[in-house]
Chains A and B, each alone.
Chain A
Amino acid sequence: MSIVKAVTCPVCGSLCDDIELTVENNEVVKVKNGCAMCESKYLGYKSEHRIRTPLVRKDGKFVPVSMDEAVHKAAEILANANYPILYGWSSTNCEAQRVGVELAEEVGGVLDNTAVVCHGPSILSVQEVGIPTCTLGQIRHRADLMLYWGCDPWSAHPRHLERYTSFTEGRFEDSAWKAYLQKVKAAAGKKKLVSAERLEFVKSRPRPQTQACTISGPPQTLKKDGRKLIVIDVRKSMTAEMADYFIQVEPNKDYEVMQAIRALVRDHELDVDKVGGIPVEYLEEVADALVNCNFGVIFFGMGLTQSAGKFRNIDVAISLIRDLNRRTKFAIMPMRGHFNVAGANIVSTWQSGYPYGVDFSLGYPRYNPGETTCMDVLLRGESDASLVIAADPGATFPKRAVEHMVKTPLIVIDPHMNATAMLADIVFPSAFVGIEVGGTAYRMDNVPLPLKKVVEPPAGILPDEEILKRILEEVRIIKAQKMAKQAEAA
């Protein structure tokens, strides 16, 4: 039995790096410090039905083949394709992503990552107006106001509040955890087992019994000292339950509400009573809180990037932050979902200049979202082969895109036999990144962290990086042979 400390959790963009794992007989048997999502990843991945060899579809059925054969077949597909797409990358390490860019360049394909379906609009906004941001520790030490907009960290990034924002001790700001517990206590109207709850904090996610401030109740708590937590969302999420102030916005009205707050921050009067279903007084309260904090931050999620308006929403959010920086210190940060989607953007950018949707078909990188993302290419029905790695577009892409993807040869590299793999022509089972193979991943604030290999992968199962390197090598051999043949013919 051995205990591995300071392990980085390969699940969400919080990338908590304080996980302690107990390993016995090449198996993780105990997880300390992680949230439920983390635990279920480390303890649950084994129960996954793992295929042990690559599979190739023959006569409609998967048959196991050798690694060499699968590599050769995959390389042939890619080398012969005119316009292949290479998609995914968000749940693998930067080392594999590096080879990915090289492979995409070699085969003249379209390199794209899952940002295209989550924070692509945020990236477009950064290219439009920039972004005032910071690392998460800066928030922990300094922020006295957190606003989560269109996201629910309590459910999707469970340790975000506890490690980086409201419930953490910083140099200049204390944790609001005690205040929060008091609120729970007072609202419950009876003594609760505060200490017990505190102990259970990490595991049990106490569900507050309180009526958090909603549209119907004016927000007393915004006047309090110390860290404030504001949530703006279309539904009363778990995070909203804990907030000092919750504003429920009508679906697809984020843009209007944000514009209204921005106007108020700029001291403009609003001559309507309500915006997006919210009384203007409440928005005024929020605007006051924003202007009067010492250090504020807005975190935003797909509730904002994928609702009506998309990148216009982020544009106005960032513009709001720009305005706020005239009055006080303010930052904004996207809540990145997959543990290394940030890394996928970063690696692609340093090698090609562009973060996603990079088209290498002309021999140099080209980027024009709306034209060059894999989604655009699939919807136009132009690609003639696909490689999907560390993502599951079969489950997440629009039907029409998947239909085209399946029509052409499809190669999947993934530890899971996921929906996309079921549709594939060639499947490479790969090692679990952050469990069976190490490497690097980037946290949502672009801080790089090392991933750890804590157990050996099953015999014969290779890391993504290795599989990609073999395919790349084989592609080069095939291309050289083709060139030689052409030369001969001429």
Chain B
Amino acid sequence: MAEMLIKNGFVFDPINRINGEKMDIAIKDGKIVGSVNERRAKKIDATGLTVMPGGVDIHTHIAGAEVNTGRLMRPEDHVKDVVRKTPLTRSGVGYSIPSTFVTGYRYSKMGYTTIMNPSMPPLEAKHTHEELNDTPMLDKASYPLLGDWWFVLEYLRKGDLTECARYVAWMMGTSKGYAIKIVNPGGLESWGFGRNVHSIDDEVPNFCITPREIMCGLAKVNKMLNLPHTIHLHTNNLGLPGNYATTLETMRALESVASGDKPVAHITHLQFSSFAGDGWGNMRSGAEEISKYINAHNHITFDMGQVIFTDTTTMTADGPFEYTLYELSGHKWVNTDIETETSGGIIPFHYKRNNAVNATQWSIALELALLIEDPWKMFLTTDHPNGGPFFAYPKIIAWLSSKKARMATLKKCHKKAQKKSLLPSITRELTLYDIAIVTRAGQAKALGLKEKGHLGVGADADIAIYNINPEKTDIARKYKTARRAFGNAAYTLKDGKVVVKDGEITQHVDGKTIWLDVQTAEQVKVDEEMKRRFKEYWTVEYDNYPVFDHYVKVPSPITVKADV
């Protein structure tokens, strides 16, 4: 394969502590190498441009049953954003729940190359993988929803962590998943009969186990299995006023699992879990309390869940939460409970500047991202499409890196939200180096993806080049320039191939599907007894449950050696 040289760019590669140095990046066979033959190599002149590793998204709902039901239920979302077929690319629709091809193209145009699809019901995992096959330009992985899976509840209740770990290992391979996803632990099983849990010590009906036990149990299992990512957690009471207290309790509970500075959990879309106040009337930000705790502890990582002022679609496995939104909005409502495993809900939602609660949510996410001092702890997401569509990331980059940008938006917000917002008192502005951390390096590190998020020798040649000259452009002042640049990469390289140039797709590539092959000393026994139990729990046969190899177009399994 051809060699390539990216010449003379300003390189931001935080994992290798490179901060805007002018240097060349050499590529061979889709990987970053130390050097290439100058003469033979194809060259990209990156003079005056910013070079970063390809973007990594730790949490974005782009494929699977739930996303697709969102697409189905919202034709009105699609008509305002249609995408034509070209000789190189497929047609489709965009906006908050884009069709699969358009999803791939749009991420690629922003310089993203790897995404994590965070909400996969194992029973419907084949669906997720079929859609991922049709999502081009990106490497991708999915997190199976395991926090309310009956097997987990039963083994944790028995205190049998080893057997629980074996089943989780089995499930990773069976569903071709990447990390343990936990959503409103205990709440989803309760939702099976229309109930919910309201604190981390509420008992789950019929299962005699608490959310605390589920989270801590699975965090331990995660450690026993040596999974590259931590448990990926959506907290209890998400989206409800006063829930910052639950979040603090959750973080404290997880201290018991931590050892040293290695994270044991990732709390996702933290904004939705940081509300203070005791009702919608006096709902306010809990960012101060939350960030204070986080600044003093290192056992958890986070992502923002930034709200964007637009019409979007909320979708989560948290069925009871979506029901609450339905009660509040009366909007069209989808609920999809999945036998033995999880639940789900969808509601269209329009975040408005002149709504005090929405505007406060917008402010909370930014407050958190700016008050949490260490950028390696807090990553940029919208929980696409829950807080807003992913193509709004350049806006968030602008808000984070420019006080001017965020104050311009805050000025247009609801008066009450403006008054309560902490943003006017925060002066911090993220640098390009910080931005590279919160949009790629930090995420790759938290995910344990060794070949992503950096430009060192051996890394995948997934690279984004942006039209920003850090010597000439101060992104804190020229935030509109930054926004444009991050929205339309000058180049995106996937596995060493130029797939985007000047914000346009130049080549269709498939991208790999990553999952874990977790090897335990002893495996789950698949005997008649297991199959019988299986038949009791699910309405499909054991033999038909797994995601077979042929369901993945470009497979890229990672082998993990477990301690059990």
Which A residues are within 8 Å of any B CB, using their own CB? 5-6, 8, 17-18, 94, 98, 102, 105, 123, 126-138, 140-142, 163-164, 169, 171-172, 294-295, 322, 325, 328-329, 331, 345-346, 349-355, 360, 363-367, 440, 442, 446-450
Contact = CB atoms under 8 A, between A and B. Distances in A.
Given A130-B73, A363-B85, A136 B539 contact: yes
B226 interface: no
Contacts of A354: 72, 75, 78, 93
B541 to A, nearest CB: 4
B540 interface: yes
A353 B539 contact: no
Given A127-B73, A349-B68, A349-B71, A449 B130 contact: no
B193 A329 contact: yes
Chain A at the B interface: mostly helix, strand, loop or mixed?
A: mixed
B78 A449 contact: no
Given A136-B539, A447-B539, 4 more contacts: A129-B332, A131-B335, A137-B339, A364-B82
B74 A127 contact: yes
B contact residues, range: 35 or more
A328 B192 CA distance: 11
B336 A134 contact: yes
A351 B134 contact: yes
Most-contacted residue by chain B among A142, A322, A365 (CB, 10 A): A365
A130 B127 contact: no
Nearest to A124: B75
Contacts of A169: 536
B34 interface: no
Task: State the 4 A-B residue pairs at the shortest beta-carbon distance, nearest first.
Answer: A137-B339, A329-B194, A353-B93, A130-B332
Interface in B507-564: 536-544, 548
Interface of B: 63, 65, 68-69, 71-75, 78, 82-85, 90-93, 97-101, 123-124, 126-127, 130-131, 134, 192-194, 206, 323, 326, 331-340, 343, 346-347, 536-544, 548
B197 to A, nearest CB: 16
B91 A352 contact: yes
Contact of B99 (A132, A134, A351): A351
Contact of A132 (B123, B335, B536): B335
Nearest to A355: B72
Contacts of B331: 130
Given A130-B333, A365-B92, A135 B339 contact: yes
A448 B92 contact: no
Contacts of A355: 72
A363 B84 contact: yes
A91 B56 CA distance: 39
A81 B126 CA distance: 36
A345 B130 contact: no
8 contacts: A8-B544, A129-B333, A131-B335, A349-B72, A350-B63, A363-B91, A365-B82, A447-B539
Contacts of B91: 105, 352, 360, 363-365
A367 to B, nearest CB: 6
B544 A440 contact: no
Nearest to A363: B84
A137 B134 contact: no
A350 B82 contact: no
B362 to A, nearest CB: 26
A131 B92 contact: no
Contact of B124 (A163, A295, A353, A447): A447
B89 to A, nearest CB: 11
B103 to A, nearest CB: 10
B317 to A, nearest CB: 13
B127 A367 contact: no
Contacts of B334: 126, 130-133
| Residue from B69, B90, B123, B194 with most neighbouring chain A CB atoms (10 Å) | B194
B340 A440 contact: no
B192 A325 contact: no
B75 A127 contact: yes
Nearest to A449: B544
B553 to A, nearest CB: 11
B544 A6 contact: yes
A354 B343 CA distance: 24
A135 B339 CA distance: 6
A12 to B, nearest CB: 15
